[in-house]
C-alpha cells in the first residue's frame, strides 16, 4: 500500500509559549518525517515560490491577506500524480489529517 505525507511547515521566526523564537525546521515538518519513518510513506514538502516573510508578524499579515483575497500562492512543484497512493497524510499548521 503506497502512502504519501504531504506537508506545509514554517521555519524562521515562530511564536512559542508567549514568545518568539527562530527555528530552522518547523514542527509540522518534524512530525511529517516521523510519520513517514513509521509508515514508510513518501514525503512531499509544499513550498511557495515566493515564501512568506521570515518575520512572524509579517508572515501572519501576508497569510491573512492571501486568505481574504482567496489567493493561492504559486508552488515550487506539485506531485506528478496522486493516483499511485492509497493513503495520503496532509500536514499543516494546526494538525495532520489522513485521507484514503
Q: How far apart are CA 4 and CA 2, in angstroms?
A: 7
Q: Which domain holds residue 60?
A: 3-99
What pLDDT does residue 90 have?
93
Q: How many distinct structural domains can be found in the chain?
A: 1
Please provide the average confidence, as pLDDT, over all residues in the chain: 92
Proportion of the chain above pLDDT 90, given as a percent: 83
Q: Which residues contact 14 (CB under 8 A, 6 or more apart)?
A: 20, 21, 22, 23, 26, 56
What pLDDT does residue 96 have?
53
Q: Which residues contact 1 (CB under 8 A, 6 or more apart)?
A: 86, 87
Q: Nearest Cα to 91, choosing from 26, 40, 29?
A: 29
Residue 43 has pLDDT above 70, yes or no: yes
pLDDT tens digits, one per residue of 52-98:
999 999 999 999 999 999 999 999 999 999 999 999 999 998 655 55
Backbone angles phi, psi at 27, to 5 degrees: -60, -40
Amino acid at each position: 500500500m503506497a502512502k504519501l505525507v504531504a506537508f506545509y511547515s514554517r521555519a524562521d521566526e515562530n511564536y512559542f509559549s508567549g514568545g518568539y523564537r527562530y527555528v530552522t525546521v518547523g514542527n509540522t515538518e518534524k512530525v511529517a518525517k516521523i510519520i513517514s519513518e513509521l509508515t514508510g510513506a513518501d514525503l512531499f514538502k509544499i513550498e511557495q515560490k515566493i515564501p512568506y516573510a521570515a518575520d512572524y508578524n509579517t508572515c501572519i499579515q501576508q497569510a491573512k491577506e492571501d486568505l481574504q483575497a482567496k489567493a493561492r500562492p504559486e508552488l515550487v512543484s506539485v506531485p506528478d500524480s496522486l493516483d499511485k497512493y492509497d493513503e495520503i497524510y496532509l500536514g499543516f499548521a494546526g494538525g495532520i489529517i489522513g485521507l484514503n
